[in-house]
Amino acid sequence: MTAPLLSEPGETLWLRVDAGLPMAARREAARLARRLGLGPDRVASVEIVATEAATNLQRHAVDGALVLRVALDGEHAALDILATDTGPGIPDLSAALRDGSSSTGTLGVGLGAIARLADVFDIHTLPGRGTAVLARFHADGEQPACASGVEIGGLTRPIGGEEMCGDTWAVRYAEEPARSAEGAGDPLLAMMCDGLGHGPQAALAGEVARNAFRTSRASRPQAVLEDLHRALRGTRGAAVAVVRLDFPGRRVEFAGVGNTTTCLVADGRRSSLLSSPGIVGAHLPRTRTVVAEAGPGAVLVMHSDGLSDRWAPGSFPGLFARRPPVVAAQILREAGARRDDIGVLVLKEATP
């Protein structure tokens, strides 16, 4: 029996800032909300939040995007509205969060209303650099308990000019949940996959890898890579990293092939876990498992080479205490390139 899937990318729309952004954001957010089964009143709240966030980007962002994302966590689903921009940031966040407040920085109008209407609200701002704002609406109207004990958030974005993305990720239990009825505290497996190149063939490789990861019975990173290697034969192949994450046991096991980045962030520093050269699906080298300690407060970050790996945790004060989608958005905003597909995944222990 395969272990239960926890999370993988749902439908994700990247809306760039232009004259039609507020209308497009309102329309697409409402469509996704209805698809998730939200009732008329909550769809109306989604429309207000999407319009406010889009209007703020349109008025104030130097460069920005609105991301609409279906977030999957076990059997639960939610709609994420994520606004990210490069700009002067918000100098007085407390004032900006008051309903009706205006700001000369970015995303200063309507933040209070967004925070009030959303089921989950989070924000991180860097003076002189930019801001990420998350508004989440749960399909059932209430925030479910974090069954795995781990918060998960990831983003994918295709290269400019393409609609399909070859980068993907997924998270599942390593084995059948055993430590508790809900699975809290049980080890997880997380995968980051970068299908070679970009476009439909890269996206196909990513889809094959994600399906193989989902159905694999393996519980250790090396064995998972071997299953993915067999599945990816006949495709372009991919760079793949797999982590077995046990936060209660303070232990991480890692194996990777190809050019991806995996690191643990703690106390303003990062510890990288290094992959072996090769291509999963074409040439699988003899990999080795790297074991590392995941101390209290550690955050796991995995991303494709569409992001520069030169980012430093110390340059993002306060970021790694925020929710994973906000962490992913800020790293992508600062380190992402438009000339490649991008995938980034963040996992951290859930706060009580």
145 assigned to some structural domain: no
Question: Is the confidence at residue 106, as pLDDT, over 60?
Answer: no
- Nearest CA among 144, 166, 142, 171 for reference residue 156: 166
Q: For residue 340, what is the DSSP state? A: S
Whether 68 and 21 map to the same domain: the answer is yes
Question: For 27-48, how does the pLDDT look when each residue is reduced to its tens digit (9 = 90+)?
Answer: 999 999 999 999 999 999 999 9
Of 118, 138, 158, the last residue of a domain is 138
Whether 158 and 291 map to the same domain: the answer is yes
* CB burial of residue 318 (10 Å; 0-12, 13-18, 19+): exposed
Question: Is the confidence at residue 229, as pLDDT, over 90?
Answer: yes
pLDDT of residue 109: 47
CATH of the domain at 66: 3.30.565.10
Whether 99 and 241 map to the same domain: the answer is no
143 assigned to some structural domain: no
144 assigned to some structural domain: no
pTM, two decimals, is: 0.93
Greater model confidence, 101 or 153: 153
Percentage of residues of the chain with pLDDT beyond 90:
75
Question: Is the confidence at residue 125, as pLDDT, over 60?
Answer: yes
CATH of the domain at 310: 3.60.40.10
Query: How many domains are there within the chain?
Result: 2
Whether 50 and 182 map to the same domain: the answer is no
Instruction: Please say whether the beta carbons of 118 and 80 come within 8 A.
Output: no
pLDDT of residue 99: 60
Chain-wide mean pLDDT for the chain?
90
Greater model confidence, 141 or 83: 83
Question: For 277-335, how does the pLDDT look when each residue is reduced to its tens digit (9 = 90+)?
Answer: 999 999 999 888 999 999 999 999 999 999 999 999 999 999 999 999 999 999 999 99
What is the domain range of residue 24?
Answer: 5-138
227 assigned to some structural domain: yes
What is the C-alpha to C-alpha distance for residues 306 and 301, in angstroms, rounded to an integer? 14
Whether 61 and 129 map to the same domain: the answer is yes
Whether 132 and 222 map to the same domain: the answer is no
pLDDT of residue 184: 65
Whether 134 and 197 map to the same domain: the answer is no
Whether 89 and 210 map to the same domain: the answer is no
pLDDT of residue 92: 76
